[in-house]
Amino acid sequence: MINFKKIFSEFNNKRVLIIGDAMIDAYMWGGINRMSPEAPVPIVEIQKHETRLGGSANVALNIQSLEAKPILCSVIGNDMHGKLFLDLMHKSNLSTKGILISKKRRTTLKTRIIANEKHQLRVDEEDTKPIELENKFINKINEHISSCDVVILQDYNKGTLTQNVIKEIITTANELNIPTIVDPKKINFSNYNNCTVFKPNLSEIKEGMKIDFNSNNQNEINEVTNKLLNKLQAKAILLTMSEKGISITNNKEFEYTPAFQRKIIDVSGAGDTVISVASLCLTTEMNFKILSKLSSLAGGIVCEEVGVVPINKNKLLSEASIFINYE
C-alpha cells in the first residue's frame, strides 16, 4: 500500500521554480441561434466574459493547488494585457518577483469562444520571437533557483525559452543537484540535454524525432523513447498519449499505463497539470512508475471540466488512494 496522504503532505511548502511562456486564457461564453447574413458563419451572442492565468502561469496555479510554493519566471509585454496578467497574478496570491516586462513584445492572449457547450473558435494575440532580455532574464532566474526543490521548463514556442536560457538553467540546476522537468515544443525539442525528466506528447515526439511509430505498440514506444533518452542524456522520458495513456522510460525500465477512464470534456491545460504533479513527485522518494500513474490520473481529472483549471489536491488524493493502490 502506498501512503499517498504522507506523500501529498510532503508536497506542502516545496519550492517550485517555473520558467517559460506565460499568458492569459480568455473565454467568451454564449449561444448560437442564427447564421450571419454576411458570411456562412454562425453568430455567437456573448453572455459572459472570463480571464484566467494560462501557460506557465497555469502551472503555477496547479503547484499552488497542490499546496507547494510556485515561483514563476517569465517575460510579458508592457501593454494592457500585461497589466491584466499582473493583476490576475496578484488576485491569485502569486508572486510577480520573477516577471520581467519588455517594451518590445506583446503579452500572449488566447481567447476561446464557447457556445452551445462547444469550443467554437480560438483567437491568439502574441509575439513568438525570442526574448531580447536574455541575459537579464537569466540573472532573474538565478536569483531564485538555489532556493528551489525542482525546476519546471514550460515551453509553448513563444520565445521565452531560448537555447541560451535553457542551457544556463539546466547547467545551474545540475550543479545544485536540483531536478529539472521539461514540457517541450517543436523549436527547442532537442535543446534540453541533461534534464531530469522530459515530457513530450505523441505529436511532439514524432515531430521532434522525425519518426513515425505505432502508438498502440508498446515495443515501438519503448524503442523510440529510449532513443530520445540517449539523445538527450535525460534520466527519464515521460510520454503522454492522451486517451491511450502514459509511459515512462529510464535506463532500467519501461512502464506503460493505460488512461484512467473518465468523461472527457476539455483537454485544455491537462499537460500543465501532468507536469505540475510530476515535478512535485520528483521532490519525494517516489519511483518513476508511480510518478507516471499519479500524473496521468491528475491530467484526466482536469479534463472533466471546461477550460483551463488547476488540479484539486483532495480529489487527486482520494482517487489515487483508490485507483492506484488497488489497480
Distance CA 171, CA 194 (A): 8
In angstroms, rounded to a whole number, what is the distance separating the alpha carbons of residues 37 and 309? 36
CB 45 within 8 A of CB 33: yes
Torsion angle defined by CA atoms of residues 91, 93, 71 and 20, in that order, rounded to the nearest 10 degrees: -20
**Per annotation, catalytic residue among 21, 25, 183, 272:** 272
CA–CA distance, 49 with 74 (Å, rounded to integer):
25
CA 84 to chain centre: 21
Distance of CA 67 to the CA centre of its chain: 17
Distance CA 230, CA 124 (A): 36
Spatial separation of the C-alpha atoms in residues 88 and 218, rounded to whole Å: 43
270 close to 299: Cβ distance less than 8 angstroms: yes
Q: Which long-range contacts (CB under 8 A, 24 or more apart) does 89-96 make?
A: 89/53, 89/57, 92/53, 92/61, 92/64, 93/64, 94/53, 94/57, 94/60, 94/61, 94/64, 94/70, 95/70, 95/71, 96/72
| Number of other CB atoms surrounding residue 64 within 10 Å | 18
Contacts for 170-175: CB closer than 8 Å, 24+ residues apart: 170/194, 170/195, 172/142, 172/145, 173/145
Q: Compute the residue count for the chain.
A: 327
Identity of the amino acid at 61: L
Gyration radius of the chain over CA positions: 20
272 tagged catalytic: yes
Q: Where are the alpha helices (H) located in 45-126, listed in sequence order?
A: 56-65, 80-91
Residue numbers annotated as active site: 272
